[in-house]
Structures are given as C-alpha cells and as structure tokens.
Amino acid sequence: MRSTGNNLKITISNPMVSYNDTGPEEAPVIIFIHGFPLNKSMWDKQADYFKENYRVITYDIRGHGSSDAGSDIFLIEIFVNDLFGLMDKLELDKVFLCGLSMGGYIALKAIEKHPHRFEALILCDTQCTDDTSEAKENRMKTIENIKENGPHQFAEESLKNLFAVESFSTKKREIAAVREMIMNTNQQSLCNTLHALAERKETCSKLQGINVPVLIMVGIEDKITPPAAARVMHEKIPNSILAIIEHAGHLTNMENPVEFNNQLEKFLHPLAKNHSAYVLLPEIES
C-alpha cells in the first residue's frame, strides 16, 4: 500500500532513502531530483503547487538530506540505480522526470539506460558535457579544502555561484535555507559527491536519441551551467523546448518559482490532460 506524506523512508539495496510522496493516487507522477549539495526540500514550492494534480515525489540522493550514504562508491551511475530502485519499490512504471543540475546529470543517464520508463524530461540548469581537466582539478582542490577546513568556506563560495546577484537582496530566506542544506550535508558525502561529479561521463552524444518531449529551463544568470550549455542541449534534443528564466541564477525553481512552475505546467498540461485525475492548474501571478 502507498504511504503518503513527507520524510518517508524506504530501503533500496543497502541505503535508506528519504522521500516525500504527495498528491492524488491516480494522478500522473512527477519525480524531482535535487542538485548538489542540496536536498529534496529545494522542491518544496513545486511540491506545494503540483500536488493538486500530480503525484509528486521528491527524494534525497544518497548521502544528502536524510538519506543514508550506503557503502558503494558514489557515482552518477549509482545514483541512477537508486532512482530506478525507488521507482521499482514504489511500483512506478513510467514517470515525468525533472532534474536540476546534478539531478539533470542523473536524469540524462537514466533516460539513456531505460528510455521506456519516462514520459517526458525536464532538464533544469544542467549540461551534457563531462568535466574539463581544469574543472576536475578544482573539484579535487575543493575536496582537500573541505577535509582541511570543514564545509563553511565551501558553503559560502557555493552560495555566490548558485544564486543570481539580485537574489542576495530578494531571496534571503532561500539563501539561508540553502546554506543550511549545505552545512547539514555530511562532510564525507560532500567529498564523495564532488568525486562522482568529476568522474561523470558526457551525455551530449546520446541526446539525439531522446524521443520524449523535453523542457529545458535555465536561469538567465546561471554561472555554473549557463544558458549557452542549455542551448547546446536544445539544439541536439529533437523534441525540446528551451525556457530562459529571468531573475534567476543556478537555482531557478527557488529563485523564480512562479515562472518555473508556470513553464513546467504549460509543458506538462498537454501531456497530462488526458489523465483522469487531472484538472488545469490556475496560472499564478508574480
């Protein structure tokens, strides 16, 4: 039987995964995958809005939020297996999948592995390339720095890159929430995930083969995965739409949730409207 609510626990192979599952039982399912080094609470504004009409699932990637780290080495492929493990345990055959940044890396690898499990893909502030040697080197330096000095400096540097300049005056609550998410992430998991990000494989060469509708969203001021990276994916994915989100850096869904939710609903509506449990959500005003 389905359990609903927040901070539910499920065991997938060795790690315990913490997840939220809300919305009507029979509704179309959307799974949201968070970025690094955040957790499922970054999707709270999406869960609140979409749970009216969708079964909304958010979860903590292993080692993040309240999920166990498990004993495997961290790799994007392991995170992908965890996603399928969660879908299998919850008996979800086919879903809409939305990933932001690292969540997008996982989503792109997941559709490469089992394309028939997804009805549509939403790629937010992400990219299809692997790390350059300079980026890998920076990740290794960051690991050393976290090991030597703890996560404080890393958290402050990350915030500068994650948010648009204007968000530092308009989104103070969100910035404080993200700082807390980073500081609450286990230090070993931070380092292990940085390693997994550095080791990730490119997915650009597989994009042409994606044959479900894809929405690509990116914050106009995203410094980590800028609009140019989104355009590269848009050009390669046959049935894709690109939306550049104003007033946002890397965390579009937190920095401009109104525009993010409207774009997502506009995209999902034609795909979900034939579902029995679905009624059109009202457009929200900024």
Binding site for ligand MLT (CB under 6 A): 35-36, 101-102, 197, 224, 250
Q: Which is nearer to ligand MLT, 51 or 200 (CB)?
A: 200
CA–CA separation, 243 and 258 (whole Å): 13
CB of 101 to ligand MLT, least distance (A): 3
Q: Which is nearer to ligand MLT, 197 or 248 (CB)?
A: 197
CB of 171 to ligand MLT, least distance (A): 16
Q: Which is nearer to ligand MLT, 95 or 106 (CB)?
A: 106
Q: Which is nearer to ligand MLT, 181 or 224 (CB)?
A: 224
CB of 285 to ligand MLT, least distance (A): 29
Q: Which is nearer to ligand MLT, 190 or 237 (CB)?
A: 190
Q: Could you tell me the CA-to-CA distances from 58 to 18, 40, 107, 234 in Å, in that order? A: 9, 6, 13, 25
Contacts from 143-149 at CB under 8 Å and sequence distance 24+? 143/191, 143/194, 143/195, 146/187, 146/190, 146/191, 146/194, 147/187, 147/191
CA–CA separation, 55 and 256 (whole Å): 22
CB of 260 to ligand MLT, least distance (A): 15
CB of 76 to ligand MLT, least distance (A): 10
Concatenating the DSSP letter of every residue in 213-243 gives -EEEEEETT-SSS-HHHHHHHHHHSTTEEEE
CB of 43 to ligand MLT, least distance (A): 13
Q: Is 268 helix (H, G, I), strand (E, B) or coil?
A: helix
CA–CA separation, 56 and 28 (whole Å): 9
Q: Which is nearer to ligand MLT, 83 or 197 (CB)?
A: 197
Residue whose entry in the numeric block shows the structure tokens 């939306």: 243
